[in-house]
A and B are shown apart, each in its own frame.
Chain A
Amino acid sequence: MATLDGHAGQQDNTADIGSEPQSVRYITAVFGVTAAEVQKLRHDPLELFTRAVQPVLWLLLFGEVMARVRGLSPENVSYLDFLAPGILAQSALFVAIFYGISAIWERDLGILHRYLVSPAPRSALVLGKAISAGIRALSQAIIVYILAFFVGVGIDFSPLNILGVAAIIVLGSGLFATLSLIIACLVKTRERFMGIGQVLTMPIFFASNAIYPISLMPAWLRTVSQLNPLTYEVDVLRALMLKSGASAYGLPFDFAVLAGTLVVLVAIAARLYPRMAV
């Protein structure tokens, strides 16, 4: 059909959309969601730094006191060294586990409906959100690194290790953010979500190796910890963040557990996400 106004590009219609391979469209959608979240952070970066309070308290107050207790950390690793990666994982967890609230917020505003009427695959939307949450959590890594450096933690600053830490923070936080999104899809209101978020955070945190070694735990709790993805996140962080660090389970195993859990959670969330529109 000829157009009267002579604008270039007016005649193209829906036909040329979707001409690219499915994989390209999938990645484009994931990237689109993530890029939008990063743009939001650029417009309003203050939020990132208001979250600095918690790691400060844990490292400076809790850490300094507990450092006087013997046997909390393996021999030849100081307790502060032992604690720093745990606090990094914990503060990233806290950012991620309340991520679902933004999905509820988007639902109430109608932004969510825009996502859901688009042809983007549901799992691409969810994965994009997960990676965004991971990027948000990276701000915590910067804060914890600076703090840890000043309290004398033996940090390994080699670029490869820092890159690995960043990747694991994005992966681990993406995983917990997706869990959070699943909860948001099920409860749908902010009030109920806040309640459940609070109830979840503490068990995930305490039933892990974040602030004490699991060898100190009773047998049943040790089992729970070994089913907890946070344990494997902390294990990688200990190995990569510290000069004295070593992995208890092996990095490939840690990585496989985290990636596998993320895939499963994204698949579940992709099924539930459309329910939010109802």
Chain B
Amino acid sequence: MPDKTDTSTEPKSAVSLVELTKKFGDFFAVDHISFEVAEGEIFGLIGPNGAGKSTAIKMLTTLLPPTSGTATVAGCDIIREAGEVRRKIGYVPQLLSADGSLTGYENMLLSARLYGIPRQQQAPRILDALGIMGLADYADHLVSRYSGGMIRRLEIALSMLHRPAVLFMDEPTSGLDPAAREAVWDHISELRRRFHTTIIVTSHYMEEVEALCHRVALIARGRIAAIGTPAELKSSIGPDATLDDVFEALVDASETETERSYGDVRRARRAARQHG
């Protein structure tokens, strides 16, 4: 944004992608994607497996260099200012990344040290974060004895320790039972309320996305098939459409569009399915 005044009434964008692209060989995993996420927004990325959501997040978190295009995250360029971006973001990866052979507290302490949180602030912040996530009583238990939901909550606590401006979460609720999923989302909303964190989240659960995300981008085959509020996306399909319908309609459309490039294999597979 060219506007540099602090009193701007326009919401500043926390994340801005400009033609962001990742190619693996001849395959475009992420194909010239551009969009903006406003400060304080919860932004959902949905799409089928392999659509490019995780690849996009890996580029935004500086884990993967883009093939072309770029993005700014919290005002810093992901290529030129990768170190500064890392200082300002939190990341909850798809895999359960907390170390099972350490206790919850030790995991937190490791993160505090990696993020250079001053010594005297480490313990209070860790205890505070564990408290918010409802893990205070389990601080000294080995993480290998935590349930899936507890590990997720610990990871959210880990990723929030340095109060990131932007938090990336890759399928934070996958594999959790409904109660644990709800708890995770409650905590996510709570964090946003308290710290005004911008949150970019991928998910396969449409009802969650609908309930919690301000805006959603549907990614299919590395491109944005649709972007808008959940209500906007639904009304583009029909009066009684659900987000699931949107998902199916747009994913199908993007598949027929690129049908030709995939050609015979897909046709053959579809034919096989039709003929039993």
Which A positions have Cβ atoms within 8 angstroms of B? 1, 3, 5, 7-10, 12-14, 16-20, 24-25, 28-29, 31-33, 35-36, 39-40, 43-44, 109-111, 113-120, 125, 274, 277-278
Contacts and interface: CB of A to CB of B under 8 A. Distances in A.
A44 B196 CA distance: 40
Interface residues of B, number: 46
Contacts of B116: 17-18, 20, 24-25, 28-29, 119-120
Contacts of A278: 63-64
Contacts of B62: 117
A174 to B, nearest CB: 19
B118 A19 contact: yes
B128 A116 contact: no
Nearest to B165: A14
Interface string B115-133: 1111101001100100000
Contacts of B96: 109-110
B164 A14 contact: yes
Contacts of A43: 101-103, 142
Contact of A32 (B91, B103, B109): B109
A109 B96 CA distance: 7
Contact of B113 (A3, A5, A35, A111): A35
7 contacts: A7-B128, A10-B128, A24-B116, A32-B109, A119-B83, A119-B87, A119-B114
Interface in B98-117: 98-99, 101-103, 106, 109-117
Given A13-B163, A31-B113, A36 B102 contact: yes
B158 interface: yes
Contact of B63 (A13, A19, A109, A277): A277
Given A35-B113, A114-B158, A120-B115, 20 more contacts: A3-B194, A7-B128, A9-B124, A9-B125, A14-B87, A18-B87, A20-B116, A24-B116, A31-B113, A40-B101, A43-B103, A110-B96, A113-B95, A113-B97, A114-B111, A117-B86, A118-B114, A119-B86, A125-B114, A278-B64
A12 B124 CA distance: 12
Contacts of A7: 128
B31 to A, nearest CB: 18
A277 B58 contact: yes
Contacts of B94: 110
A130 B124 CA distance: 30
B149 interface: no
A35 B158 CA distance: 17
A91 B93 CA distance: 37
Interface string B155-172: 000100011110000000
A16 B63 contact: no
A47 to B, nearest CB: 10
A18 B22 CA distance: 31
A22 to B, nearest CB: 9
Contacts of A119: 83, 86-87, 114-116
- Which of A18, A40, A119 has the most CB atoms of chain B within a 10 A radius of its CB? A119
A197 to B, nearest CB: 22
Interface string B75-97: 00000000100111101011111
Nearest to B74: A14
Contacts of B194: 3, 5, 10
A33 B142 CA distance: 17
A263 B121 CA distance: 32
Question: Which of A5, A24, A40, A113 has the most chain B CB within a 10 Å cutoff?
Answer: A113
Contact of A17 (B58, B61, B63, B115): B115
A147 to B, nearest CB: 29
Contacts of B164: 14
Contacts of A118: 86, 111, 114-115
A118 B113 CA distance: 10
A17 B117 contact: yes
Contacts of A115: 114
A45 to B, nearest CB: 12
Nearest to A28: B113
A32 B112 CA distance: 8
A3 B132 CA distance: 15
Given A28-B113, A110-B95, A110-B96, A117 B61 contact: yes
A5 B113 CA distance: 27
A32 B158 CA distance: 14
Nearest to B116: A25
B93 A113 contact: yes
A120 B114 contact: yes
